[in-house]
């Protein structure tokens, strides 16, 4: 019996932690450094929420069912639903639509065929790539040339590799190195059928974890965001005063994102 009680208690704590996280983020309350550090991993940390109801018949406790249902609903509503395509019912808009995708490929990812298939399955018009390495660049150039004849690929050895794939012509391209140690900005003019658009692909540096020594042990004590803030200021400086249409595509922490 104590095992079942422990499982129920763990499920309630887990659902409570997820509820607190969702409320904190949705309310836009100031985030302490440790919550900022957890945020990029939250989708994975709370991923088990969707399978909690499967254990309901085994636990067979009303309180567990409530916790599992709350956790699953919160996860689907906060993380899963925003990733799904949305279509406006009854929309009669006739303006041209450009579908874009941004993808952090991860600098050590050698699954080239899967990368290509993932891009093709989403079928975007423009793809912004971050952490592009030389092997990925060669594979994408060869495997996607028919679908994306206009390519700007600037591979790197670490996180600095950047790229753009487009069905529309790319012109006036620029690779802005930014400050020392920063990942470059990739800028290009995209010639759409009836207009032009400036696309900026950015990959700001992540905050650095600060530590403090307590009783001879190093423990996390904060996040150093100075590099990331410097990158943000440089990006803002490139946008400041612009009166043209600009599409800013940024690194998404190792996941695909489409819009």
Give me the percent of the chain exceeding a pLDDT of 90.
65
User: Where does the chain have alpha helices with state H?
Assistant: 2-26, 33-38, 42-45, 56-59, 62-75, 112-122, 134-143, 226-239
pLDDT digits over 39-49, tens only?
A: 888 999 999 99
Least-confidence region, from 70-74, 133-137, 161-165, 223-227: 223-227
Indicate whether this model's pTM tops 0.75: no
- pLDDT tens-digit series, residues 133-191: 999 999 999 999 999 999 999 999 999 999 999 999 998 889 999 888 899 999 999 99
* Two tokens, residue 170: 């790319």
Kindly report, residue by residue over 238-257, the tens digit of the pLDDT.
888 777 788 999 876 544 44
Question: Does the 100-258 domain belong in CATH 3.40.640.10?
Answer: no
- Which pLDDT score, from 0 to 100, does residue 138 have? 97
Give the start-to-end residue ranges of the domains of the chain.
2-83, 100-258
Sign, CA torsion 229/230/231/232: positive
């Amino acid at each position: 019996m104590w095992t079942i009680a422990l499982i129920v208690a763990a499920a309630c704590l887990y659902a409570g932690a997820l509820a607190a996280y969702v409320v904190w983020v949705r309310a836009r309350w100031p985030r302490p450094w440790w919550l900022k550090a957890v945020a990029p991993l939250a989708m994975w940390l709370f991923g088990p929420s969707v399978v909690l109801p499967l254990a309901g018949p085994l636990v067979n406790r009303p309180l567990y069912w409530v916790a599992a249902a709350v956790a699953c609903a919160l996860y689907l509503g906060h993380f899963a639903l925003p990733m799904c395509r949305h279509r406006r019912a009854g929309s009669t808009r006739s303006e041209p639509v450009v579908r874009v995708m941004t993808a952090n490929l991860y600098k050590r990812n050698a699954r080239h065929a899967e990368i290509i298939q993932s891009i093709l399955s989403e079928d975007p018009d423009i793809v912004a790539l971050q952490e592009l390495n030389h092997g990925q660049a060669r594979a994408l150039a060869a495997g996607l040339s028919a679908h994306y004849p206009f390519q700007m690929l600037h591979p790197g050895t670490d996180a600095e590799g950047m790229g753009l794939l487009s069905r529309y012509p790319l012109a006036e391209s620029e690779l802005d190195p930014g400050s020392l140690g920063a990942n470059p900005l990739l800028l290009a003019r995209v010639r759409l059928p009836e207009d032009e658009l400036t696309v900026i692909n950015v990959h700001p540096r992540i905050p650095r974890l600060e530590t403090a020594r307590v009783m001879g042990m190093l423990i996390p004590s904060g996040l150093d965001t100075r590099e990331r803030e410097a990158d943000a200021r440089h990006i803002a400086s490139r946008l400041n005063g612009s009166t043209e249409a600009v599409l800013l595509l940024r690194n998404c922490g190792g996941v695909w994102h489409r819009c």
